Structure 1
Amino acid sequence: MLDGIISGLVSGSTYAILAVCVVVLYRLVGVLNFGQAALGALGAYVCYALVGAEVSLALAVFCGLAVASVTAGFSGWVLARWLGEPSAIARSVGTVVLLILLLTAGFRLFGDSPRAMPSLVPEASFDLGGVRVSLSTVIALLVTIAIAGVLSLLLRYTQLGIRLEAMSERPLTVQLLGVNSRQLAVGVWAATGLLSTLAMLLIAPTRNPTFESMSFLVVPALVAGLLGAFSNVWIAVASGLAIGAVEGAGARIEGLADYRGAIPFAIIIVALIWLRRREVWDAAR
């Protein structure tokens, strides 16, 4: 059981990074991005397609990150240009269209066959209390914590973070002060596209995924973001890691392994009931 939990932390790290992207984008731009994982899948598949064409891994990773970042930035510009005034719900629905477009492009470019992905981390492991811990698990956890920590410090203690927070709360006031809010929004989109690709590069070697399966990793990320109320980065990170650990443990339980993909949906139901408890109790009183 414990080895399953440890192995699940690689997936959990990916969920956590994607959840951080979802939370940051919602918190700063007011968009719940259903295409977040698909942007990362695009960058990862570009990377591995270039590796298959005998491009060096370092250059392929750079190109994959750049493609995802540019695509995400352009998507953010389109939404800001034509859906800047509508409600957050309307903008979020626009990201469903983005997801469909990316799924279509991914199918046309890369097909729907699973692929064996090369790992960015050397295949090494060590013993910890009788459990084998892979180097990829350690690296994934460190990257996740570093990303969450840097973003938290950026948003709280820097002038850029203050501007971003102000843009999310008073966009018109920010524009009147001479700050280019659209440019900031595009920058946030581009950064989350890059981070999403990094998350996919961490998990892809462990799964032999298809483009579609990678794109729908947004579901556990949305669950983790929901548990953090789409505002708290650290709760989203902890939730993403916990979901991955539960999935890993479930893979070791006979009879549950085939249904571990449904775990995020069960967590959604529990979370929604828990988040609505106060309204129900208040009404009962």
Structure 2
Amino acid sequence: MNSLLTSIVAGLSAGGAYAILGVCAVFTYRLVAIVNFTGAAIGAAGTFVMVALFEAGYPLPLDVAAGILAGAGVAMLIGLVMTTWFAGASATTKAAVTAALLVGITALGLRLTGGQHPHNFPELISGSALRLAGVEVTWASVLTLALAVICMLATEALLNRTRVGLQLRALSQRPMAAELIGIRVKLLAVGVWTLMGAISSFALMIIAPLRAPDFLSLSLLVVPGLAAALIGAFTSFRAALVGGILIGVIEGLASGLDAFSQYRGTIPFIVILAVLLWSQRGARWDEAR
């Protein structure tokens, strides 16, 4: 029992990161109508900039700041591409473009970072924060969970209580009308991408020491992130937050069970399939009748 609790608690760090990626995916979809497949790859780019500077001997706070700026810069470039050439494209086309960009960023990242060559990922925060039923909860777990909740609350407050939020909602619901009344649509859209890139980079910096130390593994964290967003139907920040944490906890639980540990990587795919099947239950029921 204690080993299972340890595994579940160990999944909290990953769950917090998945929740952040899920909230970012919902944020991007609600404001610029894009199912974004590049979120984790952008975060991986920022993380490896941080790692490269750390391995070169620079102070960790400077490394983290540079990595966050790098992730924000990559996201900004992608935002410029999407708003310049694909602003009027369908949602399917936009999603396909981000999927293609995911492949390109991952291939370039693997090339620049040495493929499967291991890297020394520093722990941004270490040590035990508290003990839960005899199991240590690390500061990394607390930080990722706190950051996930802060991201969720901040995005809700931004959209519902600020002038910028009002403009962002106008951008998401009536982009052409928003542009006609003088809202700087392109600037806001690129700003959404930039903010998403900065947050994703910091989230992956925290979780990176717990994952396989290569660019591909971090980029593929987009899958649990999108699974969390799908639980929230790409509209609810709170459901995405809860979904991401639950996926991490289930992964942790699976890793503690010998019969299921080798299948833990399939859990986000199972969640996506289950949510899609559940969403179609009404149509199937009508057909059955």
TM-score range, shorter chain: over 0.9
1:56 aligns with 2:64: no
- Find the counterpart in structure 2 of residue 213 from structure 1: 217
Matching residue within 241, 245, 250 for 2:249: 245
How far 1:34 sits from its partner (Å)? 0.6
Q: Give the CA deviation at 1:71.
A: 1.1
- The reply on whether 1:101 has 2:111 as its aligned counterpart is no
CA separation in 1, counterparts of 2:236 and 2:39? 18
Q: Which residue number corresponds to residue 69 of structure 1?
A: 72
Cross-structure match for 1:116: 120
Which residue of 7, 11, 14 corresponds with 2:10?
A: 7
Supply the distance in 2 between the matched residues of 1:64 and 1:116 (Cα, whole angstroms): 15
Q: 1:202: which partner in 2?
A: 206
- Unaligned 5+ residue runs, structure 1? none
> In the alignment, residue 58 of structure 1 is paired with which amino acid?
P
**Cα shift at 1:171:** 0.4
Shift of 1:102: 0.8
Task: Name the aligned partner's letter for residue 28 of structure 2.
Answer: L
The count of corresponding residues between Structure 1 and Structure 2 is 285
Q: 2:136 is paired with a residue of what secondary structure?
A: strand
Q: Given the alignment of the two structures, is residue 136 of structure 1 paired with residue 137 of structure 2, yes or no?
A: no
Distance in 1, matches of 2:245 and 2:237, equals 12
Paired with 1:266 and 1:166, the residues of 2 have a C-alpha distance of 35
- Aligned residue in 2 for 1:162: 166
Shift of residue 32 of structure 1?
0.8
Tell me the equivalent position of 2:284: 280
Counterpart position of 1:32: 35
The 1-side partners of 2:218 and 2:72 are apart by 17
Give the 4+ runs in structure 1 shifted more than 4 A.
none
| Contact 1:115/1:208 (8 A) holds in 2 | no
Instruction: Give distance in 2, aligned partners of 1:171 and 1:177.
Output: 10
Segment of structure 1 superposing worse, 204-213 or 229-238? 204-213
The answer to whether structure 1 residue 186 and structure 2 residue 184 are counterparts is no
Return the letter of the residue paired with 2:25. Answer: V
How many angstroms does 1:159 deviate by?
A: 1.1
Within 2, Cα distance between the matches of 1:243 and 1:209? Answer: 21
Range moving further from structure 2, 164-173 or 94-103: 94-103
Q: Contact between 1:219 and 1:264, CA under 8 Å: does it hold in 2?
A: yes
Higher mean C-alpha deviation, range 221-230 or range 127-136: 127-136
**Cα displacement (A) at 1:143:** 1.1
- Structure 2 CA distance, aligned partners of 1:200 and 1:65? 10
What SS does the corresponding residue of 2:206 show, helix, strand or coil?
helix
Aligned partners of 2:51 and 2:119 also within 8 Å: no
DSSP-derived class of the 2:234 partner? coil
Residue type at the aligned position of 2:201:
T
The answer on whether the counterparts of 1:13 and 1:240 sit within 8 Å (CA) in structure 2 is: yes
TM-score (norm 1): 0.97
Give me the TM-score of the superposition, normalised by structure 2: 0.96
**Counterpart secondary structure, 2:130:** strand
CA distance in 1 between partners of 2:54 and 2:119 (Å): 12
C-alpha distance in 2 between matches for 1:6 and 1:129: 11
Matched, 1:233 2:214: no
CA distance in 1, matches of 2:217, 2:118: 9
Deviates more, 1:96-105 or 1:170-179: 96-105
Report which stretch shifted further, 274-283 or 138-147.
274-283
Aligned to 1:146: 150
Corresponding residue SS for 1:141: helix
Calculate the aligned-residue CA RMSD, in Å.
1.1
Alpha-carbon distance in structure 1 between the residues aligned to 2:147 and 2:102: 26
**% of aligned pairs identical?**
39
The letter of the residue matching 2:270 is A
Question: How many Å separate the matches in 2 of 1:5 and 1:243?
Answer: 10
Query: What's the CA shift for 1:116?
Result: 3.0
Distance 2:126 2:107 in 1: 33
Q: Secondary structure at the match of 2:71?
A: helix
Aligned to 1:175: 179
What's the offset of the Cα at 1:152? 0.9
2:233 alignment partner, SS class: coil
